[in-house]
Amino acid sequence: MPNKVVITGLGCVSGLGMNVPDFWDGMCEGRSGISPLAGIDEGVKIRLGATVNGYQPESHFSTSDLPLLDRFSQFAILAAREAIHDAGLEASGDNLAEAAAIIGTGCGGKQTDEETYSRLYKEAHSRAHPMTIPKGMPSAAASMVSMHLGIKGPVFSVASACASAAHAVCQGRMMVLSGLVDIAVVGGADTPFTYGLLKAWEALRVISNDTCRPFSRDRTGMVLGEGAGMVVIESQKHAVRRGARIYAELSGCGLSSDAGHITRPDVGGISCAINRAIKDAGLLPESVGYINAHGTGTMANDIAETQALRRVFGAHADKLAVTSTKSMHGHALGASSALELVATVRAIHGRTVPPTANFTEPGEGCDLDYVPNMAREQEISAALSNSFAFGGLNAVLALQAWHG
């Protein structure tokens, strides 16, 4: 049997809902999870975000667990629980005892940090909470997923800004291909809606207070989101042996670094990662039908990504369906590439391309088929999910339809 890596379980928490069905239904409807922010300090100019509205931690975790769980860890656990259940596995079961858990994050436990600094500097307390470090550390989500699901194999965190989850997925795939593990729970989580982070993003001047409309002429920037996305990946042999339902094959990864500007996207670096993913998957460029774009809605990204796709695909670029689901779930930073992977898997499995929501008319330099505003039924044999991060860190995932 060929040594392939397949996807058998999906889980997510996002501004579109607390589970994958709500997430996918929202995208197929072209519904945006972006809404006015509630309870934000008057000193913050950012007024919109894709938040998980109505979330009640007490409904999901015990009172003894909550003091140890930053919001980003809570979302990571919930998404991992769903993915494990969706894969037909059991928490603390024998199959998970040797599994890996690799969780990406761009921010880590920022809510814990913010609460601590507020207590020390604003309220003039002299002591921090004794669990501040283990609750807020970037690896907290990975550790908590391990503890709550009984995962005892390799467990660690990956931090590469907005490509964190995609890098975690690639790392998990390499572990499965090497034979180190048969199963890995991979993805990302981030919750950036704190005063300090919002002020920091405000200073970058890339945030829209209108909405996120990637690739449109009147786009005004990105909109932050929060949440978590998790997928269960397995070796084909292991998945078939246990009779698992297989969504798609995770057939390739392409990684590159621009080694250039800290924030400005580079067409060469992006093109390199896309080409490497296609080559790693053993695909012909013309076999790719769908691209889940990084698509932030910023002036620089949307043009650079479009140029890179034209450079890689040539004339075939005009036949690609290219969409940005950030128009609906926002830019959830280290979790975005995991949410977008879930969307791409569902697109392949459900033969439906989610739209680019809020689209008006193409922007200058944005001349591809962005599937505006309405989902499209389409057979997809191969797809890519693009993720590009500050620091010039690019990660592209290649997926193929499963016909096993």
User: What is the C-alpha separation between 144 and 305, in angstroms, rounded?
Assistant: 35
Q: Among 148, 167, 329, 331, which one carries the catalytic annotation?
A: 331
Q: Among 12, 162, 170, 272, which one carries the catalytic annotation?
A: 162
**294 is annotated as an active-site residue:** yes
Pairing, β 290-292 against β 321-323: parallel
Helix (H) or strand (E) holding 197: helix 195-204
**170 is annotated as an active-site residue:** no
Distance of CA 18 to the CA centre of its chain: 15
Q: Among 167, 294, 329, 349, which one carries the catalytic annotation?
A: 294
**162 is annotated as an active-site residue:** yes
CB-based contacts of 159: which residues, under 8 Å, 6+ apart? 104, 105, 106, 108, 138, 334
Q: Contact 167/176 with Cβ under 8 angstroms? A: no
DSSP string, 111-125: HHHHHHHIIIIIS--
Could you tell me where the beta strands, DSSP code E, fall in 226-277?
A: 227-235, 248-257
Could you tell me where the beta strands, DSSP code E, fall in 29-105?
A: 35-36, 48-49, 100-104
b/e sequence 149-161, b meaning 16+ C-beta within 10 Å: bbbebbbebbbbb
Per the structure block, which two tokens stand in for 46? Answer: 């950012």
- The residues annotated as belonging to the active site are 162, 294, 331
